[in-house]
Amino acid sequence: GNSVTQMEGPVTLSEEAFLTINCTYTATGYPSLFWYVQYPGEGLQLLLKATKADDKGSNKGFEATYRKETTSFHLEKGSVQVSDSAVYFCALSDPRSGTASKLTFGTGTRLQVTL
Amino acid sequence: EPEVTQTPSHQVTQMGQEVILRCVPISNHLYFYWYRQILGQKVEFLVSFYNNEISEKSEIFDDQFSVERPDGSNFTLKIRSTKLEDSAMYFCASTAGDLKQYFGPGTRLTVT
């Protein structure tokens, strides 16, 4: 079946450091890929998405590129801020299951940014 | 921005008791979901719901679980006889049918 593997956390960075959170997936066909973010006390929010190979999703300075050859969707940000401290989840959906198919999540990676 | 709401935020119950977790999806959304996350583990899909019936369910969603949309605004998850291993954070989500699922803040269920 489909699965998502994320790097273990927590990740601790100083403000303005470069961020990479690795995500790889296993799926048959061509899944859509997502990064969700969960701030303390809140629900999961869609951060960015990509629906086909070589697509780059971007939002709020975060980017991720859909790499079919390496089955990866790594999240990057050039300069993190304290306000980016949150848990980040990589996820996929299988379009063969329909237009609103379920999401398959990774374990989540906690990011802590310090001054 | 519209949001999904969930109540209660934290529910403590004794093993064997029934619990109902409540969600109010975004009003014009058509598809509804329940996910759960056991502490330290992945967010797992439980069930999806469309047009007043279950579209898909996972192996976790056995006969002890049921979902309902009783009044056109609420979406509930019932666990008939809770077990210790049901302790988790339960997330409700909804979507209009595109790729963007909107999640609620979750209900933490503790079974003692």
The DSSP symbol for A97 reads: G
Q: Quick check: A97 contacting B, CB < 8 Å?
A: yes
Report the percentage of chain B scoring pLDDT > 70.
Answer: 100
With a cut of 80, say whether residue A19 has pLDDT above it. Answer: yes
Answer yes or no: are the C-beta atoms of B23 and B4 closer than 8 Å. yes
pLDDT at A100 over 80: no
CA–CA distance, B75 with B93 (Å, rounded to integer): 10
User: Between chains, do B103 and A36 touch, taking CB under 8 Å as contact?
Assistant: yes
More confident residue, A42 or A97: A42
pLDDT value of position B27: 92
Is B84 strand, coil or helix? helix
pLDDT at residue A99, rounded to an integer? 61
Q: Is the pLDDT of residue A95 over 80?
A: no
Has residue A57 got a pLDDT over 70? Answer: yes
B43 touches chain A (CB under 8 A): yes
**Residue of B43, B48, B102 with shortest CB distance to A89:** B43
Contact B50 A100 (CB under 8 A): yes
Degrees (nearest 5) of the Cα angle A90, A92, A94?
A: 175
Residues A110 and A87: beta-carbon distance below 8 Å: yes
The closest CB to that of A100, out of B95, B103, B104, belongs to B95
Which of A97, A21, A109, A62 has the alpha carbon at shortest distance from B31? Answer: A97
